[in-house]
Amino acid sequence: MKRFHVHVSIDNLEQSIQFYSSMFAVQPTIVKADYAKWMLDDPKINFAISQRGAEVGLNHLGIQVETNDELQEMQARLESMQTTMLEETDAACCYAKSDKYWVNDPAGIAWETFHTLSNIPVFGGKSETAEDKSACCIPLAQVKQQVAAPCCVPKGEIAAANGKCC
């Protein structure tokens, strides 16, 4: 069975954990000093947040699979798209070792397809220094940030006050 994966970069871990724990009505499955993850069954999602110096917002999306056979099936799908694909074997990222494939969608959003092999005690593959702490696990990231949302995405108190939407 596959599980949808969303990773969001945040600027305040404690507040974000409180927010998402209330949203999902459950505490995170994993909590680290700079990271938290919820492995939810309803909806079936691997939802992760991290506070590691990346721009706040969507970090990447993905599909987590349970078996190597499912990963090979996903690899075949990605190859059929004839897009740039990066394979990582035994990759260390987000406190886990995984085999994975990366692609970008047409908007430049990074998509990770992965099979988790084991948990590890650090975000990346080695003891991290200050420079490593800001390192990112998204080798093909090209996310384009919009200056203003074109429609129906209210921002903050101003949007709430004027109530405008498409």
DSSP string, 34-101: TEEEEEEETTEEEEEEE-SSSPSEEEEEEEEESSHHHHHHHHHHHHHTTS--EEEEEEEETTEEEEEE
Tens of pLDDT along 63-93?
A: 999 999 999 999 998 888 888 899 998 888 7
Q: CATH no. for residue 150?
A: 3.10.180.10
Check: pTM over 0.75? Answer yes or no: no
Count structural domains, the chain.
1
Which domain range does residue 137 map to? 3-162
User: Each residue of 93-115: pLDDT tens digit?
Assistant: 778 889 999 988 877 888 999 99
pLDDT at 153 over 70: no
Whether residue 165 is predicted with pLDDT greater than 60 in this model: the reply is no
